[in-house]
Amino acid sequence: MPNDNEQTTVRFFKIAPGENARNWRKYRDGRYIRIGWDKVGDLRLVHSLEELKNRLEEMYPDKYRTAGRASKAANQLWMFKKVQHGDKVVANKGISKVLAIGTVTKGYEWRPLEGHSKFRHILEVDWDPIFDKPTPIDRQKEWNQNTVAPAKPELYKDLTGDRLPKRTTEHEADVALPDEVAPGEAYMEGAVKDIQLTRYERDPKARRECLNHYGLKCAVCGFDFERTYGKHLSGFIHVHHLRKLADIGREYKVDPVADLRPVCPNCHAVIHIRKEPYRIEEVRAMIHRSAK
């Protein structure tokens, strides 16, 4: 069975926008979906289902007195954490109404400082505007009392007329600039090869994890190749290393979320136009200044 980073078909999840869909309009207009269980904190810092279950029992002792209830909640949170860029999400109201279907544009984030008192676990979603009112569907019993649950591919086809699309990998190996991620064997970067220019072994898995988290929009200017040029450019984007590998001089383990960012070729070229690369924030400031 393929792991999360090797799925060939995008996955389909149902995520409830609050009890009785009370937060739906806010989530639709904000182009995201949020869930609660805020006391567990950032799910990226939780490394196993067992650890998550234990944290739920610790933080919600009255609610999760039994291991079974804690396990059920942990499974839902873990599922939400694992949703990737490109996966499909259906927002539901109860077990027999669909509010909308959307495409995840940015993987899991924890946002504790946005003024929200709760619902700080978030996925960014591009909601399909064709759903302008709740759509009745056959009762989905497995959705009952679940905030997050798998949704059936057959439901996606019934609602959209299409099968779930394949993940796009056509442009995953595009390599052009010194800090691009190129094919390799492991997450260890920095193993110098003796060729005409100093290069490093780099793993496409690190690239995929970066894009699963941040999406395919440029982290500097927001450019989206698929939105501008169409589906045949889906998946095309450079990946920039925030750390200068040439200065490290030894192998280190890449953190795809902390060390990498998706950038368009133009912004990537600007970052590397001088010997001391510009920081993403500096290039973004250039754009803002020139727009005034």
Query: What is the C-alpha separation between 184 and 204, in angstroms, rounded?
Result: 7
| Residue 189: predicted pLDDT | 46
Across the chain, how many H-helices and E-strands are there?
A: 10, 13
Query: What is the C-alpha separation between 215 and 168, in angstroms, rounded?
Result: 13
| Residue 41: predicted pLDDT | 92
Domains of the chain, CATH where assigned: 4-160 (3.10.590), 188-291 (no CATH)
> Going by DSSP bridges, is the β-strand pair 192-193/199-200 parallel, antiparallel, or unpaired?
antiparallel
- Which residues does 282 contact at the CB level (< 8 Å), separation at least 6? none
pLDDT surpasses 80 at 80: yes
> Going by DSSP bridges, is the β-strand pair 148-150/238-241 parallel, antiparallel, or unpaired?
unpaired
Least confident of 23-37, 49-63, 169-183, 245-259: 169-183
Whether the model clears a pTM of 0.75, i.e. scores above it, the answer is no
If you average pLDDT over residues 50-72, what whole number do you get?
91
